[in-house]
Amino acid sequence: MIRKKLETIPPSLTQIKLIQEDIDTKIKPQLWDPKTMLTNLSIMEDKIHQLQELVQLIVAKSSINQPNEFLIQQQQLVTADLTSIIIQLISTAGSLLPAVKHPNFSSNPNPNPNPNPNPSAGNGVGSLPQHNNSDDNHDSDGNSHGNMVSKMEDQSHETDHMDVHEEHDDDIDEGENLPPGSYEILQLEKEEILAPHTHFCVICGKGFKRDANLRMHMRGHGDEYKTAAALAKPHKDPVTEVKLIKRYSCPYVGCKRNKDHKKFQPLKTILCVKNHYKRTHCDKSYTCSRCNTKKFSVIADLKTHEKHCGRDRWICSCGTTFSRKDKLFGHIALFQGHTPAIPVEEPKGGEAVGGYNHDHGDNYNNNIEGSKEVGFFDFNFNSNGSAGDPSVCFSPMNMESCNVNRFQDFPRTLFEDSDNFSLLLPGSCNYLWKNGGESSSKDL
């Protein structure tokens, strides 16, 4: 029994105690760098000047009557530019954060119950600036400082949501809100995560993905493994189970799922760790054989995608494709002049669409909301696409890794990822079932 239990826990899985020195070594080299700050500021200055010119141009032209569509386009452009400036500003300001927060930061992720009433990383947004204020109230700049931090926190909070949507499989623990220290944090090594098998036979060394499979395999090694006790699911000690809830940390430094992250969100199971690590930190090596464009790092994701890749693709006249009809209509409702494209394929598809209304009810939940939603996500993708992973971007530790010049690229990435995104939206999994319904209700 005990031996087996030990086997199931990978050897490199170690319990981690977070110690003060640990964090200090990680943060110190990345403290505020005035040179980077200066380049950032000058880039922002340039951008603001550009924007100023653009707005001046609009003002000059506004005397001439212009078509509505053109105005809206200009408006969108200005909004987009402003957004990127704001993001830049915030992330630049964010580089100051470690310096400000440092005195308290060390105690934050400490799993031991702490008498210090500091809010933990995962807790409310508003409390943090408040705390800063009280700490720095002797500072003449205290107020503005606090405000800035609060702004930044807001932003990062918002991007947290984005993160959650991207890894929808892993976010089961989103609403968990475990108080820090009430659980044990385990961290697997990269090799461990990427290993195909986690359960190995002690006799022949064969690897298995599942413990149950290993136990079935063990039966072949002799009668002693055939007893009911040996075949039963390894029983965990109820006492330790109640006391220590296990949560997992991602080994990737700077990731929000990493225990050192200031807003650390633990992963619930080993499977979550595996999927998260592959999706977020690995190459996407599986390419969809149908469209040859979509790439995935988790094979299950590829399979899910392939199920409805190329089938009933909803296309807008602007070239954007959608996997769901309501998303296409939300898109069309939002933009002027965009038209649904008629599928060129066999008319059969049209017929199938005919029956669609019968069972679409569940998927249609957000028709008008949907339109806003699409806009919202597109918008977020702009900032996302330009700044890479939002958690990385706003993390003070990775400021250097964030290429500031990429900010200027983002209008081009406007739609590149939106389809991918809609695929990942919860609810798209109903898609297959929906298709089945269509064919059956065709005659209606």
* Site residues, other proteins (CB under 8 A): 325-326, 329, 332-333, 337-343, 347, 350-351, 353-354, 356-358, 360-361, 364-365, 367-368, 371, 444
Nearer to other proteins, 76 or 83 (CB): 76
Nearer to other proteins, 108 or 371 (CB): 371
Output the smallest distance, CB 374 to other proteins, in A.
13
Contacts of 441 (CB under 8 A, 6+ apart): 355, 358, 359
The bridge status of strand 245-249 relative to strand 286-287 is unpaired
Nearer to other proteins, 171 or 359 (CB): 359
Output the smallest distance, CB 51 to other proteins, in A.
31
CA distance 122 to 157: 10
Nearer to other proteins, 215 or 327 (CB): 327
Output the smallest distance, CB 329 to other proteins, in A.
4
DSSP string, 71-105: HHHHHHHHHHHHHHHHHHHHHHHHTTHHHHHHHHH
Please say whether the beta carbons of 285 and 267 come within 8 A.
no
Nearer to other proteins, 152 or 316 (CB): 316
Output the smallest distance, CB 366 to other proteins, in A.
9
Nearer to other proteins, 337 or 426 (CB): 337
Nearer to other proteins, 364 or 376 (CB): 364
Output the smallest distance, CB 358 to other proteins, in A.
6
CA distance 345 to 322: 16
Instruction: Using alpha carbons only, give the angle 169, 172, 173 rounded to the nearest 5 degrees.
Output: 135
CA distance 297 to 279: 6
User: By three-state DSSP, how is residue 14 classified?
Assistant: strand
Nearer to other proteins, 130 or 317 (CB): 317
101 closest CA partner among 137, 136, 151: 136
Output the smallest distance, CB 108 to other proteins, in A.
45
Instruction: Using alpha carbons only, give the angle 399, 403, 406 rounded to the nearest 5 degrees.
Output: 135
Residue identified by tokens 């390894």 is: 234
CA distance 320 to 413: 12
User: By three-state DSSP, how is residue 314 classified?
Assistant: strand
Nearer to other proteins, 66 or 134 (CB): 66
Output the smallest distance, CB 68 to other proteins, in A.
11
Distances (CA, A) of 40 to 122, 366, 382, 405: 29, 40, 19, 9
Nearer to other proteins, 70 or 364 (CB): 364
Region class of 245: left (phi > 0), else alpha (psi between -120 and 50), else beta: beta
CA distance 155 to 87: 9
Helix (H) or strand (E) holding 400: none
Output the smallest distance, CB 318 to other proteins, in A.
12
Please say whether the beta carbons of 264 and 258 come within 8 A.
yes
Output the smallest distance, CB 364 to other proteins, in A.
5
Nearer to other proteins, 8 or 336 (CB): 336
Output the smallest distance, CB 440 to other proteins, in A.
15
HSE toward the beta carbon, residue 304, CA cutoff 13 A: 18
Output the smallest distance, CB 330 to other proteins, in A.
9
